[in-house]
């Protein structure tokens, strides 16, 4: 399993790095959860745990970024983790990489271990092995690349085959800052998401639009599933995303 980045046609740039945890096993569809991170979702213990970066957290979940090569998975992760954009460079991810971030959700510290997968076909067998331990998947396409949108159906088939049935899934149309190059309309993304019953939002790793929101929404859903309090109303991810996207002023970059 390599964490290195292979330089692609558009030149150099920095990439996230961290010691890569291995998948629990190579065989897909076997429902054995990783002991550290129980299925959707579980506290690691009754007490807070300490992350490798020295931050305490109450709950930990694995989130996987998937989608065609070049849609902006690595940039989305870097934007979320570091608040920066890897401008002008495209260093295609090799295999899989990961970064951790601890969020505070309704007063609870939630650690997201975010796995950044390679979109290139040749690494597909590597990423397959990681699906089954993912608590949530962010599936990306690029609004300036029609093929990446057309491939969403194939990605959903793959997800259906390899991920857990109860995995939290969200569709993201990235690069909305590139308004002049847009070829996939927001309505098309909305329609596809509705067809498959998944929450949807448009994002920009470049401007930061909705990046925090996408991860926060996932963390909220996982936290609510894990810590359902009596008398607490059910958290509805779809409704939350709709409300927050409207509030974020979806089309300002």
The stretch near Mg ion (CB under 5 A) out of 85-93, 120-128, 145-153, 194-202 is 85-93
Rounded Cα distance, 56 and 37, in Å: 15
29: left (phi over 0), alpha (psi -120 to 50) or beta: left
Specify the residue, 227 or 250, whose C-beta has the smaller distance to ligand GTP: 250
Out of Mg ion, ligand GTP, none, which partner does residue 75 contact, by CB within 5 to 8 A per kind? ligand GTP
Candidate list 42, 58, 60, 74; residue touching Mg ion; CB under 5 A:
74
Site for ligand GTP in 99-118 (CB under 6 A): 118
Q: Binding of ligand GTP at residue 93 (CB under 6 A)?
A: yes
Token output for 10: 């558009």
Rounded Cα distance, 173 and 143, in Å: 6
The count of residues interacting with Mg ion (CB under 5 A) is 3
Q: Is 20 exposed, middle or buried (0-12, 13-18, 19+ CB in 10 A)?
A: middle
The stretch near ligand GTP (CB under 6 A) out of 44-52, 82-90, 100-108, 222-230 is 82-90
Candidate list 40, 93, 144, 164; residue touching Mg ion; CB under 5 A:
93
Specify the residue, 1 or 227, whose C-beta has the smaller distance to Mg ion: 1
Burial 164-201 (b: 16+ CB within 10 A, else e): beebbbbbbbbbbbbeeebebebeebeebbeeeebbbb
Return residues touching ligand GTP (CB under 6 A): 10, 69-75, 86, 89-90, 92-93, 118-120, 174-175, 177-178, 204-206
């Amino acid at each position: 399993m390599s964490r290195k980045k292979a330089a692609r046609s558009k030149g150099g740039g920095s990439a996230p790095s961290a010691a890569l945890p291995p998948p629990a096993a190579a065989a897909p569809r076997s429902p054995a959860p990783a002991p550290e991170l129980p299925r959707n979702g579980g506290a690691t213990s009754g007490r807070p745990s300490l992350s490798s970066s020295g931050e305490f957290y109450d709950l930990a979940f694995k989130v996987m970024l998937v989608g065609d090569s070049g849609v902006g998975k690595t940039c989305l992760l870097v934007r979320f983790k570091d608040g920066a954009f890897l401008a002008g460079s495209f260093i295609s991810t090799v295999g899989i990489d990961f970064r951790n971030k601890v969020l505070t959700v309704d007063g609870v510290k939630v650690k997201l271990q975010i796995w950044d997968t390679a979109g290139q076909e040749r690494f597909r067998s590597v990423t397959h092995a990681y699906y089954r331990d993912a608590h949530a998947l962010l599936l990306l396409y690029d609004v300036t690349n029609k093929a990446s949108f057309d491939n969403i159906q194939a990605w959903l088939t793959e997800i259906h085959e390899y991920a857990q049935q109860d995995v939290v899934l969200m569709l993201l149309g990235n690069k909305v800052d590139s308004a002049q190059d847009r070829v996939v309309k927001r309505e098309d993304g909305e329609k596809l998401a509705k067809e498959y019953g998944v929450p949807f939002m448009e994002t920009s790793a470049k401007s930061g639009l909705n990046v925090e929101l996408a991860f926060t929404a996932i963390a909220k859903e996982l936290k609510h599933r894990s810590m359902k309090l009596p008398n607490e109303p059910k958290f509805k991810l779809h409704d939350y995303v709709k409300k927050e996207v409207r509030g974020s002023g979806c089309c300002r970059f």
